[in-house]
């Protein structure tokens, strides 16, 4: 069993749609990370959060530490949002990564 | 500009031919890691380093070696590459220990390796 599970694995949306990506984890953590992997391969950090909600532009991340669940929402999706979104749970000496959600936003 | 660089970005090689993927960071970070990314498996840690001359195995260290002789550099060595090491490799660095909660990891651009 993976320590971090994401769903869905693949997601195709029309431009303008509201998107939700879910992440559940089994390891004990204080904060969860959301990462974005661009089509060219580079990985950047989007959010680090330990409670409630964080917002950055059209991206919103929420977390429920007690339920060990986090969601990433994208409002008014745009083709430039097309990427792989990865949740990661730091614990012990390492990060545990989800397998990623590949998002394609069609114009 | 704060960054992690990797070279080469793309490499096609043959089984058994030793190769080194370099990684360098300019942020004076103590903690560095190597990951491989495979379809359906996500990112898995190969090795990590806590400081100069201090390294430890991650989840999938077999077939790999690392060294940390300088703080900024953390090369990944494949002494005898095999086809099952065909993958996308990422180097990452961070200011705090890798598993620390509010600790951003900075990733390199990735190296796509194909072993024939």
Q: Profile chain B (116 residues) by mean pLDDT over runs of 10 residues.
A: 94 97 96 94 93 93 97 97 97 86 87 97
Contact B89, B34 (CB under 8 A): yes
Min Cα distance A102 → chain B (Å) is 11
Compute the nearest-CA separation of B81 from chain A (Å): 22
Please list the residues that pair with A87 across neighbouring strands: A34
Nearest chain B residue to A99, by CA: B42
SS3 at position B115: strand
How far does B58 lie from chain A, in Å, by closest CA?
8
Contacts of A67 (CB under 8 A, 6+ apart): none
Residue A95 backbone class (left: φ over 0; alpha: ψ -120 to 50; beta: rest): beta
Render pLDDT for A30-66 as a digit per residue (tens, 0 to 9). Answer: 789 999 998 877 899 999 988 899 999 999 999 998 8
* C-beta separation of A41 from A104 below 8 A: no
Question: Looking at residue B100, what is its pLDDT?
Answer: 76
Give the nearest chain B residue to A6 (CA atoms): B42
pLDDT in tens, A77-100: 999 999 999 999 888 777 889 999
Strands A43-49 and A52-56: unpaired
Whether B99 sits inside 8 A of A93 (CB atoms) is: yes
Q: How many residues does chain A have?
A: 107
Identify which of A10, A17, A45 has the alpha carbon closest to the alpha carbon of residue A31. Answer: A45
Q: How many CB pairs under 8 A join A and B?
A: 65
Residue B45 and residue A95: Cβ atoms within 8 Å? yes
Distance of alpha carbon A21 from alpha carbon A87, whole angstroms:
10
**Interface test with chain B among A37, A45, A83, A93, by most B beta carbons within 10 Å:** A93
Residue of B7, B41, B43 best to disrupt the A interface, most CBs of A under 10 A = B43
Q: How far apart are CA B71 and CA B54, in angstroms?
A: 10
In angstroms, rounded to a whole number, what is the distance separating the alpha carbons of residues B38 and A24? 20
Q: What is the mean pLDDT of residues A96-105?
A: 94
Q: In sequence order, which ranges of A1-107 are alpha helices (DSSP H)?
A: none
Query: What per-residue confidence (pLDDT) applies to B1?
Result: 87
Residue showing tokens 């097309």: A82
Cross-chain Cβ contact B102/A45 below 8 Å: no
A64 — phi, psi (to 5°)?
Answer: -125, 100
Measured between CA atoms, the residue of chain B closest to residue A87 is B42
Whether residue A94 and residue B48 make contact (CB cut-off 8 A), yes or no, is yes
Three-class DSSP category at A6: strand
If you compute the radius of gyration of chain A from its CA atoms, what whole number of angstroms results? Answer: 13
Secondary structure of residue B61 in the 3-state scheme: coil
pLDDT of residue A1: 59
Query: Cβ distance B20 to B77 under 8 Å?
Result: yes
């Amino acid at each position: 069993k993976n320590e971090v599970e994401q769903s869905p694995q693949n997601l195709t949306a029309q431009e303008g749609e509201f998107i939700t990506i879910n992440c559940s984890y089994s390891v004990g953590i204080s904060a969860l990370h959301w990462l974005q992997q661009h089509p060219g391969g580079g990985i950047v950090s989007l959010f680090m959060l330990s409670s409630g909600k964080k917002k950055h532009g059209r991206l919103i991340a929420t977390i429920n530490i007690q339920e060990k669940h986090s969601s990433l929402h994208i409002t008014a999706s745009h083709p430039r949002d097309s990427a792989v979104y990865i949740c990661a749970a730091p614990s012990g000496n390492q990060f545990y990564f989800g397998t990623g959600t590949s998002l394609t936003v069609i114009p | 500009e704060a960054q992690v660089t990797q070279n080469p970005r793309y490499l096609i090689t043959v089984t058994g031919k030793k190769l080194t993927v370099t990684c360098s960071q300019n942020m004076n970070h103590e903690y560095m890691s190597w990951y491989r990314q495979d379809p359906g498996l996500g990112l898995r840690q190969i090795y990590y380093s806590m400081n100069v001359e201090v390294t430890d195995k991650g989840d999938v260290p077999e077939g790999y070696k690392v060294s940390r002789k300088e703080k900024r550099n953390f090369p990944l060595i494949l002494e005898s590459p095999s086809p099952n090491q065909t993958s996308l490799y990422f180097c990452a660095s961070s200011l705090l220990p890798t598993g620390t909660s509010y600790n951003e990891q900075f990733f390199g651009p990735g190296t796509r390796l194909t072993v024939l």
